[in-house]
Chain A
Amino acid sequence: MKRAVLKKMTGLLMSAVLVASLAGCGGAQDSGEAPATAESTAQESGPAAEDNSGAEETAESEAAAPADGEAVTITLWSQFSDPNSTDGNYVAFYNALESIKTDMPNVNVVHEGTESESYKVKLKTAMAGNELPDVFFNWGAGTMAPYVEAGLVLPMDDYMTDEVSARILGGTLDNFTFDGKIYGYPYSVAVASLYVNTELFEQNNVKIPETYDEFLEAVDAFKEAGITPISLGEKDLWPGLMIFGIHAIRMAGAEDFNAALMGEGSYNTPELVEAAKYVQDLAARGGFGESAMGTSEDDAVAAFKQGRAAMMFMGSWLNGDCEADDAAVKGKISVIKFPVIEGGKGTKDEFHGGSGETFLVSSSTEHPAEAAAVAQYICEKMSKDQYLAGSGMPAWEADMGDTSELNRLSQEIANLTKDATGYVYWLDSLTGGSAADTLMNEIANLIAGAETPEEFCANLQKLNE
């Protein structure tokens, strides 16, 4: 009898173990946070102990300090953890960190870099403990909003002279502006545009579209010719955000669409319903090929790179892929503004994408003026250098000097966006969390034809209620 009970218990234990491996996932995140924090603490001391350039820099600035007498120490945190990285943003950041020593001798900047995922945790911990540095890197819009609401970030309006704001390119401050106050300076603009394979357009006698009607004609012509008109990796969900995003911008205009996304406006407008109709119609007429729902973004990019698709609407990070040596389309790609939709409120100079990364000043800093000056200096300096490094568009006006070595498409995009009047940032970064997930799934429903444009807008509007 007892043995039978024991047997049953063992069985129960076994079955529990079977299921536990999964249930563990739910709890794992909580325990996972602790090590991550520990890690970031370890990294905090890391650069000072191991990183030669960091140590050197601190020593140098300390040496410079007594000469001036007035030097103020500004602590700076960023996600740029590796001084030797070749990533354009990293290169630009470390350039700025180097030149600030000579350009701003009155401050002594002490930098701490933490790898991006740990950085997010570290920042949240610091906020909870009220231990923020004077200046810190952060993402804009939805990511930044809770910090601004909690009063942790200093507005820049008092430090931003007309002369400074004149140098900042139009629309780049939107993601750092809350209730009319500007909290951060921009340093780069990543922007989506329509990539067209000029060779395929020529071979098939199709005109590169300037109006939306011509765009639809091109779609039909390529479909007829058996070429995927627009490469879309909807399996990963986020690429669909960009397609809907640009249609919504063209129909509703950047301002109204931003308002809807930020919960201050409505998704239930005739313009957005119309935008959804255009997207659904584009999918229904085969604009994304036969298998967009099952295609990953990697496959979609590969198809475009190999010249199997005629167009792609994507962010400027595609530049590198198109101009890569192994790309069949190298030298044959051109970027154009997404055509204006007749009857829509949006203009050709409103763009999808924008500047979403910045350096913020903590509201508890003891040296607000110096901290604001450091944030401004780094952003302006990075704007030029990250552009030259082929990373994104500049956010500040500057003399770029010799740009002959620059990625050809980056230059084309710079030309397209120089008169930009408004931006709508990437919908997922802008909204964040469950709202971003809802947007992605609703847009997938729309593209697959599983719901009407009216239902789509009504479902999105639930996010704002």
Chain B
Amino acid sequence: MNKILGNKKAYFVFVFPAFVIYFVMAFIPIIISGYYSTLEWNGIGEKVFVGIENFLELLKNDAFLSSVKNSFILAAASVIGQLIPAMFFAIVLSRNIKGEGVYRTIYFIPVLLSTVVIGQLFLKIYNADYGALNALLQKLGLEGQDWLGNTKLVLAASFFPIIWQYIGYHMLILYTGIKGVPAEIYEAAQIDGANEKQMAFMITMPLIKSTIKVSMTFAVIGSLKLFDLIWVLTKGGPLHASEVPSTLMYTTIFTRMEYGSGSAIAVFIVLECLLFYFLIEKFFKVDNLTY
């Protein structure tokens, strides 16, 4: 095994096919998007080189600025709203409770559902006329709301299913990390008289720090580039209130036919995600642990 790991040619052989696919499918489009972002172009006619003007225009575009703000709110909400419940479920499930497998599956089901299915489900729940949520509120004597049509409510209403959907996903990542912690450590702690809460905070969490970092990276990057569920629920509306950068990019390119401006948003999303990746990497120093 060590012989293989020390062999640079073996690295090359294993990495090369994947690298070629990523290069063609990911890096080249990013570079092309970068090129488009310097153009004023409607997708058909003449391409006019405008330099960084598209980016300067974005800074003056209220819809874009509020979409970036929304994506930051979502990133923060995801980290808090996904990782904390996910951590709780993961710790509880990993303590060899009865029906561990069943609960693990139940919590993971939302991840397996297609985003469009979840979107349609929540469209029906939120519907102002016949939605389940308003029916419930009215039963309780409260007033129903137009959840996806009210600019003040739409952000919270559309973020809820996004956050809800991926709790199970992060739970599974963290659960796997916890299962990797040797049982002897817990046994030793129990002999020393530690209770479950102490074990969770003093042993489990510090030991799975690298797994938490992975979860956090996924939650943040996933929020910054989110498109699908917002598109199904609101298309960024009403009045751009639930707009995120990727939905704005889509309408800019495909509805407004402004390829340059839309590509500038795409480039922004790439750079933003890379920046956050490095920030998490920098502020989340992890020691290499060996048990």
A-B CB contact pairs (8 Å), 13 listed: A18-B221, A18-B225, A19-B221, A20-B29, A20-B30, A20-B270, A22-B269, A25-B250, A26-B36, A26-B266, A237-B237, A293-B237, A294-B127
Which B121-168 residues have a C-beta within 8 angstroms of A?
126-129, 146-151, 154
A295 close to B (CB within 8 Å): yes
B30 and A437 within 8 A (CB): no
Taking a contact as CB atoms closer than 8 A, the residue among B28, B129, B240, B281 that contacts A303 in the complex is B129
In the A-B complex, the 6 residue pairs with the smallest Cβ-Cβ separation, listed nearest first, are: A294-B149, A20-B26, A291-B128, A293-B149, A27-B29, A291-B146
Contact (Cβ within 8 A) A433 B129: no
- Taking the nearest CB of chain B, how far is it from the CB of A146, in angstroms? 8
Q: A24 interface residue, CB < 8 Å from B? A: yes
Query: Which of A57-65, A352-360, A444-452 has 4 or more CB atoms under 8 Å from chain B?
Result: A444-452
**Chain A residues whose CB sits within 8 angstroms of the CB of B26 once the complex forms:** 16-17, 20-21, 23-24
Q: Does chain B have a CB within 8 A of A403?
A: no
Contact residues of B between 229 and 278, Cβ < 8 Å to A: 234-235, 237-240, 246, 249-251, 253-259, 262-263, 266-267, 269-270, 273-274, 277
Which residues of chain B have C-beta atoms less than 8 A from A18's C-beta? 218, 221-222, 225, 273
Q: Which B residues are CB-close (under 8 A) to A308?
A: 129
B10 within 8 A of A: no
CA distance A15 to B218 in the complex (A): 9
Which residues from chain A contact B266 at a C-beta distance below 8 Å?
22-23, 25-26
Proximity string of chain B (1-28) to chain A, C-beta cutoff 8 Å, 1 when within and 0 when not: 0000000000100000001001001111
Given contacts A26-B32, A27-B36, 6 further A-B contacts (CB under 8 A): A16-B30, A27-B28, A27-B263, A30-B32, A294-B150, A299-B129
A13 and B249 contacting across the interface, CB-CB below 8 Å: no
Distance, CA A17 to CA B27, complexed state (A)? 9
| Chief secondary structure at chain A's binding surface | helix
Which single member of A20, A28, A291, A445 contacts B27 (CB below 8 Å)?
A: A20
Chain B binding surface, main DSSP class? helix
Task: Say which size band chain B's interface belongs to.
Answer: 35 or more
B126 to A, closest residue via Cβ: A294
CB neighbors of B among A104-136 (8 A) = 124
Closest A residue, CB atoms, query B127:
A299
Contact status B147-A294, CB under 8 Å: yes
B30 and A450 form a contact (CB under 8 A): no
Tell me, yes or no, whether B227 is within 8 Å of chain A by CB.
Answer: yes
A293 touches B217 (CB 8 A): no
Rounded to whole Å, the gap between the CB of B266 and the closest CB of chain A is 4
B51 close to chain A: CB less than 8 A: no
Q: Is B211 an interface residue (CB 8 A)?
A: no
Decide: B251 and A437 in contact? CB cutoff 8 A.
yes
Mark A413-424 against chain B: 1 for CB-CB distance below 8 A, else 0.
Answer: 000000000000
Closest to A124 in B: B44
B33 part of interface (Cβ distance < 8 Å): yes
Is B204 interfacial (CB 8 A cutoff)?
A: no
Chain A nearest CB from B70 CB (Å) reads 16
Whether, in the assembled complex, A292 has its beta carbon less than 8 Å from a beta carbon of chain B, the answer is yes
Minimum CB–CB distance from A368 to chain B (whole Å) comes to 27
Residues in A neighbouring B250, C-beta threshold 8 A: 25
Q: Name the B residues within 8 Å of A23 (CB-CB).
A: 26, 29-30, 33, 266-267, 269-270
Q: Which residue of B lies closest to A438 (CB)?
A: B256
Give the residue of B27, B238, B277 whose beta carbon is less than 8 angstroms from that of A294: B238
Q: Are A290 and B277 in contact (CB under 8 A)?
A: no
Are B29's CB and A26's CB within 8 A?
yes
Asked if B42 CB lies within 8 Å of chain A CBs, one says: yes
Interface size on A, residues (CB 8 A): 43
Indicate whether A434 reaches chain B with its CB closer than 8 angstroms.
Answer: yes
Nearest CB of chain B from residue A24's CB, rounded to whole Å: 4
* B256 in complex: contacting residue of A22, A27, A295, A434, CB < 8 Å: A434
CB of A337 closer than 8 Å to a CB of B? no
Nearest chain-B residue to A18 (Cβ)?
B221
Inter-chain contacts of A11 with B (CB < 8 A): 277, 281
Tell me the smallest distance from the CB of B201 to a CB of chain A, in Å.
28
**Which one, A12, A235, A290, A450, contacts B148 given CB within 8 A?**
A235
**Contact, CB under 8 Å: B274 / A15:** yes
Distance between B240 CB and nearest chain A CB, rounded to angstroms: 8
Quick check: B239 and A26 within 8 Å, CB to CB?
A: no
Inside 8 A of B255's CB, which chain A residues have their CB? Answer: 436-437
- Report the minimum CB–CB distance from B77 to chain A (whole Å): 19
Q: Which residues of B contact A234 (CB under 8 A)?
A: 238
Which among B253, B254, B273 has the greatest number of chain A C-beta atoms within 10 A?
B273
A15 contacts across to B, CB distance below 8 A? 217, 221, 273-274, 277
Counting CB contacts under 8 A, is B43 at the interface?
Answer: yes
Interface membership of A29, Cβ < 8 A: yes
Partner of A24, one of B29, B222, B235: B29
* Contact in complex: A295, B149 (CB < 8 Å): yes
Cβ contact of A19, chosen from B11, B150, B269, cutoff 8 A: B269
Flag if A16 contacts B27 (CB, 8 Å): yes
Closest Cβ–Cβ distance, residue A233 to chain B (whole Å): 11
Which A residues are CB-close (under 8 A) to B222? 18
Which A residues touch B240, using CB under 8 A?
441
Q: Which residues of A contact B221 (CB under 8 A)?
A: 15, 18-19
For the complex, what is the distance from the CA of A450 to the CA of B27, rounded to whole Å? 41
Minimum CB distance partner of A433 in chain B: B257
CA gap between A28 and B29 in the complex, in Å = 7
